[in-house]
Structure 1
């Protein structure tokens, strides 16, 4: 399990998001991502302590969705500070979405995505883990990706796409607080004509559990060529 924190700030040009550049080797090599990382055993132990539940010696096993969410919040706070030097509190994180990668990947982590207003202070980049950082509007990040100058992975791209419609941090946080976090459990289709398509619940091609979508319904990201194209009917 992993956690990702999307830090937002207001600027003279509108809403901006903090993007971090991964180095040219390792996980997500060369990609621009949000702060975050794997949930560690101590994050589970802290969640159990916060809930008043004794931890099992040597296991740090947390049962229940609420405790998993608490552990993910702890990881988000910790990873954000480790990568950027910015301190946020767990209660400031607004749950945005959950991402489960396709089954064909060797390393699969369910990732909890959170939004938060960026705290005051300058970014102090962890040079051992990151190659650079930038504040920019979601639309600018998408434009750079379309131009081929910024590498993004699908969860980052979709999150930026969803944030591009907000003018301020308060607007974005209010909208997310008022919505149910969406579970993006990915299924990949290789289309001979257009290339790779990632589909999620709500798309008529999605094979997962739950009620069948109506014919022609769309919730998908076409990634076969630039620009990527996102379709969501609901």
Structure 2
């Protein structure tokens, strides 16, 4: 979750391409799955903090940075950005089609990343009844300077939104935002600064969220208990 404080506290969201099977057309935070190159041992030399973060988080942190770059052109956690801004678009396309590994891009362009600039905001496990299972790490970080640009393939639009505005637009039917994203937007909406979001995230450190699913007649509801940190939540589950 890339946030900025000027002109107001906002978070970057991207719209997924309507032809993608998973979450087609939804507004999401930039992100995706951990790939093999995200665990390359060379990251120990190319990413500050590699040995400081928990081993289970190394791949997800690299993946979070890489996916943000691929999907929006923004490179969070970057201490020294690439000098060749013109080549970024070509690099993004090459990474997406598998002809360039992120680790090679970083080393070739002498980019310096600091994994400690990302803060674990929440970790979500999908309920066992959901067909597609995920173990998702949500991170919050300061958005780097520059313009967010969708890649035109996985993402077709970018939008900066105040968290409360994103929730309102979803409630009014103007945006499609899935359950975990909305829940985390709700937490972001309780603060107006990155420092506040980071402090709240650290207070929840180590908590893994797994919603419950409850059958009521012919309907199923997805639920969060208050201990999860989101209040008591229950919604009609739309999966078959």
Q: TM-score range with shorter-chain normalisation?
A: 0.7 to 0.9
Summarize the Cα distance change of 1:187–1:195 in structure 2 as closer, same or farther, 3 Å threshold.
Answer: closer
> Is 2:60 the partner of 1:72?
yes
TM-aligned CA distance change 1:34 to 1:224, over 3 Å:
same
Paired residue for 1:131?
Answer: 156
The Cα of 1:149 is off from its aligned counterpart by 1.2
Consecutive unaligned residues of structure 1, counting only runs of 5 or more, are: 1-5, 52-64, 204-217, 226-234
Deviates more, 1:149-158 or 1:164-173: 164-173
Secondary structure of the structure 1 residue equivalent to 2:150: coil
How far apart are residue 41 of structure 1 and its match? 1.0
Q: How far did residue 97 of structure 1 move?
A: 1.0
Higher helix share: 2
1:118 equivalent in structure 2:
143
Q: Per the alignment, do residues 46 and 125 of structure 1 end up closer, same or farther by CA in structure 2, a change over 3 Å counting?
A: farther
Q: Does 1:141 align with 2:166?
A: yes
Q: Structure 2 residue aligned with 1:9, among 4, 10, 19?
A: 4
Assess, with a 3 A threshold, how the Cα gap between structure 1 residues 85 and 139 changes in structure 2: closer, same or farther: same
- Total equivalences in the alignment: 192
Instruction: Give the corresponding residue for 1:42.
Output: 37
Where structure 2 has 5 or more consecutive residues not aligned to the other structure, the ranges are 47-52, 78-114
Distance change (3 Å), C-alpha of 1:47 and 1:138? farther
* TM-score computed with the length of structure 1 as normaliser: 0.74
Within 2, Cα distance between the matches of 1:170 and 1:17? 14
Q: Deviations over 1:176-204 (max 9, x none)?
A: 2344242111221133598623235838x
Paired residue for 2:198, among 145, 153, 173? 173
Change (3 A) 1:50 1:71: farther
**Residue 23 in structure 1 maps to residue 35 in structure 2:** no
Distance (whole Å) between structure 2 residues aligned to residue 112 and residue 82 of structure 1: 18
Q: TM-score, normalised by structure 2?
A: 0.72
Partners of 2:136 and 2:69 lie apart in 1 by 18
Of residues 144, 147, 152, the one that matches 2:177 is: 152
CA RMSD of aligned residues (A): 2.6
Q: Aligned partners of 2:175, 2:151: CA distance in 1, in Å? A: 20
Shift of 1:116: 0.2
Change (3 A) 1:128 1:166: same
CA shift digits 1:125-184 (9 cap, x unpaired) = 110111211101000001011111111111101100001111222222233234424211
Measured in 1, the distance between the counterparts of 2:209 and 2:203 equals: 18
